[in-house]
Structures are given as structure tokens and as C-alpha cells.
């Protein structure tokens, strides 16, 4: 993905621990995904990250999955162990740590709305379940997509809404999570008229750091955060998997803030 901050984040981590490693970014078309994954073995790469739209389709090209990756049906991290490629999902840990450590939010008993039908939405649903949310509702453009995402919540009261209905019922929720790409190009993810001071809004988009949804939520008196914290925490979890070392989270966070701060929205392609 051309907008990725991951090379800067992992580069800072490698330098901090004195590792002679490099993190490279490649844009891979869907029809070339299998060849790209096979190339990890040929190159002797230690691993890789996987971004949308490949988080679900990559599963068929891997040798095994960790528990989290298998339970949510999505992979964002690949680990090479000998000739085997193992799929992991660090988005769950990244989202949970952002909520608890960065936002300082106790979601126990809260009513949560998750917008989206992809791997990020699945991770958010599973994380909210583990954090004790009172109920999770998934909204997507197509109901069958929302139902597949809601199904990853084993023990939580999870249900679905159509997109238009979710917009009308925002007041029924305490926490709203945008796990869609909407907002990366300046569009509002969902109509914000129902937001107010009682809401917490978590937009998993990190670039731009203040999306239209975050801005609208704050204007309505809600507390709102972008996804930069999740990006750093999921990267830290990936780093731990690849290297076996504790990640230098402060250095990674500083690199992320520096990189996103240098972006010029007038010239950068989203």
C-alpha cells in the first residue's frame, strides 16, 4: 500500500536493536498473491505483513495458522519457520492495546458498533469480545458480509444492522469503530448526526491522522481517536513474532508520528 507507514516503523525498530534487517513494501495485485507469498520462501525472508485486500485470501497460500488467525479467518502477519509459512493476526492485539493503553477505555458492558466487513472488522469484533463488551453490532453494505464478521464473536451478544439503519441508530451505541477504508480519501465514513458527548469513536484509519469521522465526532463532543496507535501496536506484535525480541515500542511510535507528520496531503496519493 502506497500510504503505508510500516517501513518507517519497522526500520526504526531494527535500528534501535541493532538488527541488520530491512522492511520493504511491495504492491501485489490479487492475481499475483500466490506467487508473491511463494517468493518469501525463495528469498529467505523472515516474514511479511499483509494488508487489505489480501488479509483473507492469503490464507489459502500458507502452511499453517495461529489460533487468532484461524478463529477470525484473517492474516496480517506471515512468519517463515524453515520452509513453512505461518499466518498470524496481530490486529487483535493491536486493537486491544490501543483501546486499553492509548485510549484508556474500559469497554466492559458497553454497546459497540463495528463498521466494515473485512479483516480489520473481524479483529475489532474479536478484541471487543475479549475486552468484555456487552454487545457488538456489525454494519456492512451487505447483510451477509456483516453476518460473517459477527460470527467471529463466540461468546458475545453479536448481531448485525444494515448500513442505513446503523446511521439512524448511532445513539444506541457507546463505542463506534470504523474498520472500513472510508475516510482515506476525505469522505465521511458514516453520517455523524447521531454522535454526541456520550460516544467514543475509534477510526482505524491512520492516514490522515484526523479523518472526517474523527473531526465530526469531536465537533459533536465525542471522544475520538485515529488508528495510529493500533498500527504501532500491531507492528510491535509482528516484530516480536519475527525476531523473538521485545519490540522498542517508543521508538516505533515516534517513527510513526514523525512519518505521518511529514505527509503533505496536497501531494501524497492516498
Q: Point out the catalytic residue in the list 10, 55, 61, 126.
A: 55
Q: Which of 209, 247, 222 is nearest to 97 (CA)?
A: 247
* Strand, helix or coil for residue 33: helix
Helices (H), 80-142: 91-97, 119-130
Estimate the crossing angle of helix 249-261 against helix 228-243, to 10 degrees. Answer: 130
CB neighbours of residue 265 within 10 Å? 9
Whether 55 is a known active-site residue: answer yes
| Angle (CA) 216 221 226, round 5° | 50
* Strand, helix or coil for residue 129: helix
* Strand, helix or coil for residue 176: strand
C-alpha distances in angstroms, 84 versus 59, 89, 106, 140, 141?
13, 17, 39, 35, 37
Q: Which residues pair with 113 in a beta bridge?
A: 137, 176
Q: Tell me the catalytic residues.
A: 55
Amino acid at each position: 500500500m502506497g500510504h503505508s507507514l510500516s517501513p518507517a516503523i519497522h526500520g526504526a525498530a531494527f535500528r534501535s536493536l541493532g538488527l541488520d534487517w530491512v522492511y520493504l513494501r511491495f504492491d501485489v495485485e490479487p492475481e499475483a498473491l500466490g506467487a508473491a507469498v511463494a517468493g518469501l520462501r525463495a528469498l529467505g525472508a523472515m516474514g511479511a505483513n499483509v494488508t487489505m485486500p489480501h488479509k483473507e485470501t492469503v490464507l489459502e497460500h500458507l502452511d499453517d495458522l495461529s489460533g487468532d488467525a484461524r478463529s477470525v479467518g484473517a492474516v496480517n502477519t506471515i512468519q517463515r519457520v524453515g520452509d513453512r509459512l505461518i499466518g498470524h493476526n496481530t490486529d487483535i492485539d493491536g486493537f486491544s492495546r490501543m483501546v486499553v493503553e492509548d485510549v484508556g477505555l474500559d469497554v466492559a458492558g458497553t454497546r459497540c458498533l463495528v463498521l466494515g466487513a473485512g479483516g480489520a472488522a473481524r479483529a475489532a469484533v474479536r478484541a471487543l469480545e475479549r475486552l468484555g463488551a456487552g454487545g457488538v453490532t456489525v454494519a456492512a453494505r451487505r447483510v451477509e458480509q456483516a453476518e460473517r464478521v459477527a460470527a467471529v464473536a463466540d461468546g458475545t451478544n453479536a448481531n448485525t444492522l444494515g448500513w442505513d439503519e446503523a446511521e439512524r441508530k448511532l445513539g444506541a451505541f457507546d463505542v463506534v469503530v470504523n474498520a472500513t477504508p472510508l475516510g482515506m480519501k476525505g469522505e465521511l465514513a458514516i453520517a455523524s448526526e447521531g454522535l454526541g458527548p456520550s460516544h467514543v469513536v475509534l477510526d482505524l484509519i491512520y492516514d490522515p491522522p484526523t479523518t472526517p469521522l474523527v473531526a465530526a465526532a469531536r465537533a459533536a463532543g465525542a471522544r475520538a481517536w485515529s488508528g495510529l496507535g493500533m498500527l504501532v501496536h500491531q507492528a510491535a506484535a509482528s516484530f516480536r513474532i519475527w525476531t523473538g525480541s521485545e519490540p522498542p515500542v517508543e521508538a516505533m511510535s515516534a517513527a510513526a508520528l514523525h512519518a505521518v507528520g511529514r505527509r503533505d496531503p496536497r501531494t501524497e496519493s492516498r
